[in-house]
Copies of this chain bind each other. A is one copy, B any other.
Amino acid sequence: MKLKDPEKVELIFAATLRLVRDNNLTALNMAAIGKEAKLGMGTIYGYFKSKDELINSLFKKLKGKNLDRIYAGLSPDAPFKVNMKKLVDNYIDNRVRYFSEHYFVEQCANSHFLDEEARAINQNSYTRLFELLNRGKNELLVKDIDNALLAAHMVGSANELVNICIAAHRPLTRDFLDQAFLLCWDAIKR
């Protein structure tokens, strides 16, 4: 007998990401996914039981993958500021490099598609950043301001910086990353 092809899921995911990048989540439909992935619509339903499940499944996969990448290379032994620079670099670089993934995640977060579990995952994404900020406060390097505020400032700023970068087809230079970090660091430093 023929076995389900594990690569097809990736094909479907990749097609979905391209479609959302080019036409927004609001315009996504199953016929388009089938066409883009060069698969029959029925095939998609062999891998996902509904459009909602497909979207949630991709969302959860991306959310985990992206979080891992963002915190890669941080070390408790390195000085706080070095870790912070690494984090901001990772964050911006990842967001540009995997733009369509982040764009999809963002669109999902603002949609009615996500289930309870996906929403919970989305909430927890700040946990590791809060831990890092606490260390900065212990070392008297970071302003004594609520972590939620500090994190919002960093993340909001970085996201918008990347959006501009993408919209203007501006390549991601070392200079850009350094300037972005300068803004971020001056903001949060005590």
- Could you list which residues of chain A lie within 8 angstroms of chain B, going by C-beta atoms? 23-27, 106-107, 110-113, 143, 145-146, 148-150, 152-161, 163-164, 168, 176, 179-180, 182-184, 186-189
Contact = CB atoms under 8 A, between A and B. Distances in A.
A183 B153 contact: yes
Given A26-B26, A187-B187, A164 B149 contact: yes
Contacts of A164: 148-149, 152
Given A26-B112, A149-B179, A150-B183, 6 more contacts: A107-B110, A149-B176, A149-B183, A152-B163, A155-B160, A186-B187
A186 B176 CA distance: 19
Q: How many identical subunits does the complex contain?
A: 2
A129 B145 CA distance: 26
A189 B182 CA distance: 11
A187 B180 CA distance: 10
